């Protein structure tokens, strides 16, 4: 099949056709299109070449459409209407009327803390929508954001990819979490107690050493790491009923204290804080839909 040549197709020809069909007059169509009568006559000649049909014939004082012109007029009306209403007019986003899927990437920690509250906040304001949470980390968030079309990413992610922007949500601190029925210590905890118990680690990469071990070594101490997991839920289950300590983010520790009878106290060793950030594509920064979900996330997390 011969490929269609779009070179001679001009949107203005369709606009002129519509004006001629509506007015049955070259002069009236020219006035409607804000061009001269001679320009409209020239446009009619171009239309006749494009459609291979006279399109409009003079009958008395009127330009009457040919049979072919009458057949294509509804299609041209639909095309111009679609271009005007669907292509050129930007639709305003309304959360209440949105029936699509919110795609939110979260690190394991962020998902444990914020997923339920995010779901509630989104569904309260956007009841017809759906929510899909995606587990991401520092290594794969760019790939998943692009392949899945994520609206936002939430977590402690540094070395931001240049295609993304970020907003600071809050700065996280650390506490030492344990089961008080299995671990006996005073507050403040001494370094001797801290290294006297075996430790569990939340370790995204499976490593059994962290900055804590380096700081302890400088002070002449060494702790025993018995187990590591990438998942915060696993760490909580490991702590219950066992003589284990675990350094965890403060918000997670407070949540576990309230719901699972664990205890959290300050660590005897200084541990650097970390930032929880909201990431989104630069290309979406001014989109109403993106602005809305970012505001919801900020209100939930803060």
CATH topology for 7-87 is: Arc Repressor Mutant, subunit A (1.10.10)
- Alpha helices (runs of H) in 24-167, residue ranges in sequence order: 26-32, 37-51, 67-82, 108-125, 141-148
Q: What is the pLDDT of residues 5-57, one digit of tens each?
A: 666 678 899 999 999 999 999 999 999 999 999 999 999 999 999 899 999 99
Region label for 163, one of left (φ > 0), alpha (ψ between -120 and 50) or beta (otherwise): alpha
Half-sphere exposure of 99 (CA within 13 A, CB side): 1
Indicate the helix (H) or strand (E) that contains 178. strand 174-178
Rounded CA-CA distance 20/187 in Å is 88
Domains 95-172+275-301 and 174-272 are alike in CATH topology: yes
Domain boundaries, the chain: 7-87, 95-172+275-301, 174-272
Once rounded to an integer, what is the mean pLDDT over residues 230-246?
A: 92
Mapped onto helix, strand or coil, the DSSP state of residue 264 is strand
Share of the chain above pLDDT 70, in %: 97
Task: Report the alpha-carbon distance of residue 101 to residue 78 in Å, rounded.
Answer: 30
According to CATH, the superfamily of the domain at 95-172+275-301 is Periplasmic binding protein-like II (3.40.190.10)
Mean pLDDT (whole number) for 180-194:
93
Instruction: Tell me the whole-structure pTM to 2 decimals.
Output: 0.71
pLDDT averaged over every residue in the chain: 92
Nearest to 142 by CA among 274, 280, 276, 278: 280
pLDDT surpasses 70 at 283 = yes
Q: In this predicted structure, what is the pLDDT of residue 8? A: 65
| Residues whose CB is less than 8 angstroms from the CB of residue 2 and which lie 6 or more positions away in sequence, other chains included | none
Q: Residue 282 is encoded by which pair of tokens?
A: 């630069």
Q: Which residues pair with 57 in a beta bridge?
A: 64
Class of domain 174-272: alpha beta
Tokens of 44: 């009619």
Give tens-digit pLDDT for 71-103: 999 999 999 988 888 787 777 899 999 999 999
Q: Answer for the pair 136, 153: CB distance below 8 angstroms, yes or no.
A: yes
Total residues found in the chain within this entry: 302
- Categorize the per-residue pLDDT at 4 as very low, low, confident or very high, splitting at 50, 70 and 90: low
Residue-level pLDDT at 3 = 66
- Give the separation between CA 109 and CA 302, rounded to whole angstroms: 16
Q: Which two tokens stand for residue 58?
A: 């003079």
Mean pLDDT score, 281-301: 95
The mean per-residue pLDDT over the stretch 214-233 comes to 92
Mean per-residue pLDDT, 171-175: 94
Residue pair 133/111 in contact by the 8 Å Cβ criterion: yes
- Please report the pLDDT score of residue 232 as a whole number: 86
């Amino acid at each position: 099949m011969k490929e269609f040549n779009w070179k001679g197709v001009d949107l203005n020809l369709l606009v002129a056709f519509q004006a001629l069909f509506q007015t049955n007059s070259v002069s009236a169509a020219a006035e409607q299109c804000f061009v001269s009568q001679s320009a409209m006559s020239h446009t009619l000649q171009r239309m006749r070449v494009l459609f291979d049909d006279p399109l409009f014939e003079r009958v008395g004082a009127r330009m009457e459409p040919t049979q072919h012109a009458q057949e294509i007029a509804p299609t041209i009306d639909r095309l111009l209407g679609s271009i005007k209403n669907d292509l050129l007019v930007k639709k305003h986003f309304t959360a209440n009327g949105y029936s699509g899927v919110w795609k939110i990437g979260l690190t394991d920690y962020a998902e444990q803390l914020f997923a339920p509250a995010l779901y509630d906040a989104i569904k309260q304001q956007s009841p017809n929508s759906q929510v899909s949470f995606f587990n991401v980390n520092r290594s794969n968030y760019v790939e998943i954001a692009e392949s899945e079309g994520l609206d936002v990413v939430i977590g402690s992610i540094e070395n931001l990819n240049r295609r993304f922007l970020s907003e600071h949500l809050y700065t996280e601190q650390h506490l030492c979490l344990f089961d008080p029925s299995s671990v006996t210590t005073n507050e403040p905890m001494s370094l001797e107690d801290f290294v006297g118990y075996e430790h569990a680690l939340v370790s995204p990469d499976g490593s059994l050493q962290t900055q804590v071990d380096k700081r302890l070594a400088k002070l002449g101490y060494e702790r025993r790491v018995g187990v590591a997991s990438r998942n915060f839920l696993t760490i909580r289950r490991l702590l219950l009923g066992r003589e284990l300590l675990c350094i965890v983010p403060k918000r997670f520790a407070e949540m576990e204290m309230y719901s699972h009878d664990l205890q959290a106290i300050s660590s005897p060793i200084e541990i650097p804080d970390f930032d929880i950030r909201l990431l989104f594509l630069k290309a979406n920064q001014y989109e109403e839909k993106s602005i809305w979900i970012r505001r919801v996330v900020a209100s939930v997390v803060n």
